[in-house]
Amino acid sequence: MLRPGRVIFLVSPKPADDIRSSEFRRGRPRTCLASFLLAAALPLLHGQSLTVYSEFQRVDPFGEIVAADRGATPREILSPAAPRGGFVSFHVAVTVPPGSNYFLYVVTTPVNACRIALYKEEFRKTGDGWIPDALEPVTHLPHFGAMPDPAAKIPNQTTRVYLLDVWIPPEARPPGFRLEVQLKMGDWTVWPMEIRVLPVSVPATSGDVTRPLPSIEESADASARRPVEDFLAGVTESHEIDADTVRAIIRRNAVQDMALATQVDREGLKRLWTGAHAAGAEWYLRVRDWIYRQLTHR
């Protein structure tokens, strides 16, 4: 289980639960095992950690998954798939000792492979603890941070969380590109990913229905449920969603999934939807994976 509070160096990325094909495996970059193991030993001495989660695993100011989103072991974010003209989003949890400063970098190879937006997630105190939601744009990279965050004023804070929003250009081509999130606090901690560009594009839609977002206390998947239910009922939700909260990002990405679902078997999606719900907010990723498989194996 990948948890904050540990230094994570991913050496040989694998597709995890995402779709697999030889097309996406060709040209996969290799990582030098010896150099990563040598570098990994240094940050352990300083207590710094960097962990990337799916959009459905919100993290509190102490490095734990918020109670509403907990379930099975979080999915490993190693080689996520993304359609052309679409978004893929992640939570980036940075844990460093109190009184520390750090720099956060996001690097792609090639440098113009995608459009990147990074946001600071602002915590809100609820009856179940602190939950991140409102998004504040990070205007400059590398980003300088301090622990505890002086703006948050959270006692004993050890973790700052960011929303990494990646948009894939319509002209992008498979197999994809490399993206690294890098943390520097004296030494370096690196989370490498291979973004696998799918050979499908997000279609334009003309929906004009805009639904209210669920409450912040509900599990993260609550923001994705309504777009699927609307789609199965024949209602198309608008893409015009202000991406100013974590909930809005999740809703926008689910609307994007349903735009892609117009190209697959609606009855097959309905059957999957009926039996897909499980403990933990990441159950929705099974729906997304199914749509991607239908589109890429036609």
Q: Evaluate if residue 124 carries a pLDDT over 50.
A: yes
Selected residue with higher pLDDT from 15 and 108: 108
> How sure is the predictor about 228, in pLDDT bands with cuts at 50, 70 and 90?
very high
pTM, entire model = 0.84
Selected residue with higher pLDDT from 287 and 8: 287
Which percentage of the chain shows pLDDT scores above 90? 72
For the chain, residues classed under CATH 2.60.40.10 are 22-201
* pLDDT, average across residues 69-88: 95
> How sure is the predictor about 46, in pLDDT bands with cuts at 50, 70 and 90?
low
Selected residue with higher pLDDT from 234 and 161: 161
Q: Residues with Cβ < 8 Å from 289, sequence gap 6 or more? A: 17, 18, 19
Distance CA 71, CA 280 (A): 4
**DSSP string over 87-131:** EEEEEEEEE--TTEEEEEEEEEESTTSSEEEEEEEEEEEETTEEE
CA 146 and chain centroid, separation? 23
Q: Evaluate if residue 66 carries a pLDDT over 70.
A: yes
Look at the block and give the residue holding tokens 């989003």: 89
**Among the listed residues 238, 229, 244, the one whose alpha carbon sits nearest the alpha carbon of residue 276:** 229
> How sure is the predictor about 197, in pLDDT bands with cuts at 50, 70 and 90?
very high
> What confidence score (pLDDT) does residue 43 get?
46
> How sure is the predictor about 204, in pLDDT bands with cuts at 50, 70 and 90?
confident
Q: Evaluate if residue 11 carries a pLDDT over 70.
A: no
Q: Evaluate if residue 13 carries a pLDDT over 80.
A: no
Distance CA 71, CA 69 (A): 7
DSSP β-bridge partners for residue 88: 166
> How sure is the predictor about 1, in pLDDT bands with cuts at 50, 70 and 90?
very low
Q: Could you tell me the CATH superfamily of domain 22-201? A: Immunoglobulins (2.60.40.10)
